[in-house]
Each structure stands twice: as structure tokens, then as C-alpha cells.
Amino acid sequence: MSRPWRWVVVVVATGIGFLIAFEFGQWDPFGWFPEKESDRISVAGAFGGAMAAVIALAVGWWAGGSGGDGGNSVRQRARASGTSQISQDGGRTAPGRVDQQARADGDSRIEQRGGGEAEEPSS
């Protein structure tokens, strides 16, 4: 799942979690909340907000990449022969994973750079 869709899941899950906790707080099966309606709604709102914060924290951790693959990944499978060249560049930002599976025969050349590494100047 792409990162933007993960954040959509965070927003939806947090909203649904708040509504469920708020309704549960108004239901008050144990009789712990105040009898006055305005106080009951305030306490139910606080309970819903606390539960929404817990849900947002847990699902946000997943959406931020810590619970996923650790960020973007760069993968390549290649085979070169003769005087061919295989290059892989992870870009300027450090990806979560750089994976290259390459096979070279003859005078071939294989080069791999992960994100954030300085590029060599062109001659």
C-alpha cells in the first residue's frame, strides 16, 4: 500500500475509533459517568478523544513507514555481457532498501549507489 493511502487509513481509522468510543462513553454501561447530560457528553468526548489519540499513534506509526518496509525501496535484476554496464542509483534520499541482483560476464561493469551518496564527477 502506498504511503498516501496509509495516511488515508490513519484518518479514517481515527475518526471511526473516536465515534465508537464516544458512543460507548454515552452508553455508560457501568454507571461511572455523571448523570447530567452536558457533563456526560463532555466525558464521552474526552474518552473518545483519548481513544482516537491511541489509534492515531498506533496506525500513524505504521503509516509513517516504521511498521512497514522502512521506506522506499529500489530493486533491480539485470545481466550484462561483453562490454555492457549495469548501474543502479538509489537517488538523493536514502531509501529503506537498495537491492541489486546482477550478473556480469566478460568486460562488463556493475555499479550500485544507495541514496544520499555523493555522485562521482563526470570526466
What are 37-60's pLDDT values in tens digits? 898 899 899 999 999 999 999 999
pLDDT range class, residue 91, cuts 50, 70, 90: low
pLDDT for res 114:
65
- Mean per-residue pLDDT of the chain: 80
Asked if 6 and 63 touch (Cβ cutoff 8 Å), the reply is yes
Instruction: For CA atoms 58, 62, 67, 70, give the dihedral sign.
Output: negative
Higher per-residue confidence, 7 vs 117: 7
Other Cβ atoms closer than 10 A to 68: 14
Residues 6+ apart with CB under 8 A from 58: none
pLDDT range class, residue 67, cuts 50, 70, 90: very low
Confidence (pTM): 0.52
**pLDDT over threshold 90, residue 18:** yes
| Cα separation, 14 vs 60, whole angstroms | 10
pLDDT for res 78:
83
